Amino acid sequence: MSDLYNVAVVGATGAVGEEMLKILNERNFPIKELKLLASKRSKGKKIKFKDKEYTVEETTKDSFKGIDIALFSAGASRSRELAPYAVEAGAVVIDNSSAFRMDQDVPLVVPEVNSEDIFKHKGIIANPNCTTIIMLMAIKPLYDYAKVKRIIVSTYQAASGAGAQAMEELEKQAAAWAKNEELPIEKFPYQLLFNVIPQVDIFLDNDYTKEEMKMVNETRKMLHDDNILISATCVRLPVFRAHSEAVTVELEKDITKEKAVELIDKFPGVKVVDDIEQGIYPMPLFASNKDDCEVGRIREDLNGKNWLSFWIVGDQIRKGAALNAVQIAEKIIENN
């Protein structure tokens, strides 16, 4: 590879694809040639990147000739179908779907958490689930201080986690409610507006949802620790953007609130936002469109001195997806 790189964005017209392009621009990623790829229905669409207008092409097995880095955000089935062709053509694939996350030969990476795993790749690197990424941004500094034995987490997930159409549906529901019209319901099993849905993804045989088990399995894989006890409950809220999570952890040794604040606040990509006397704590309203995850409500848990509870909010589309993928690409080119 040279100092400039040929980059393909697969799923360029989706919410995450659009965010990837925005972040590539903001971070001045060293692009020589850019190829925008999407489904057949988006073929021919015009997208401006920097000062140049690009025409979206249909993604096929022949789309990756000369590509160095392919950022995939087109869904698991398309990734399974097309990523091998990109690798065969010589590209490194950074995949945002669930297709390869638990594949033993595919690194699952959050750069701040386990960047060393990037270079074990055989052509494909997986981006974790958004809820796992956000949680681990606060878990990792605690884990490095005193090994985490148990995690209990409840997530409060924005519509953005289900894609651009889900965000549009929430907006349409609000407009319909204001006009006293029937609310459209397509992307979610129930009305999301003014509601809380305690189901994200399908239920599995153990009565946990697929989303909840992603948090369990992905956390263990990235921390290289199969002994962590994890229980997750994932919930969808009528919020446009940014996921929130209430997390309680048990560590192997005692920890004070002050020590936890110190550890979390100096960890890259995380900011402590915690002043309860002034009513200051993380909220999706203020964490949206930010790169950093924000942590607050940090407290010594009533379970014991080695327990800690906190609240974390992160932009699902940025750090939970697009930004994390671009950061992986940056790590790759740093090591050429």
Please state, in angstroms and as integers, the Cα–Cα distance from residue 95 to each residue in 58, 78, 326, 329, following that order.
Answer: 18, 10, 11, 11
- Contact between 239 and 288 under an 8 Å Cβ cutoff? The reply is no
H helices present in 236-322, as ranges: 257-265, 284-287
> SS3 for 297?
strand
Do 261 and 272 meet the contact criterion of CB atoms below 8 Å apart?
Answer: yes
Strands 92-95 and 69-72: parallel
Residue 199 CA to residue 208 CA, distance in Å, equals 9
DSSP state of 197: B
Classified as helix, coil or strand, 124 is strand
For β-strands 5-10 and 243-251, DSSP reports them as: unpaired
| Helix (H) or strand (E) run with residue 156 in it | strand 148-157
Q: How many CB atoms lie within 10 A of CB 118?
A: 20
243 is catalytic: yes
The four Cα atoms 217, 233, 201, 241 give a dihedral, to 10 degrees, of -100
CA dihedral 95, 98, 103, 109 (to 10 degrees): 50
Q: How many of the other CB atoms lie within 10 Å of CB of 18?
A: 18
Question: Per the residue annotation, which of 130, 224, 234, 293 is the catalytic one?
Answer: 130
Contact criterion met (CB below 8 Å) for 20 and 323:
no
| Side-chain-facing half-sphere of 171: CA atoms under 13 Å | 9
Catalytic residue among 121, 234, 243, 293: 243
Please identify every residue annotated as catalytic.
Answer: 130, 243
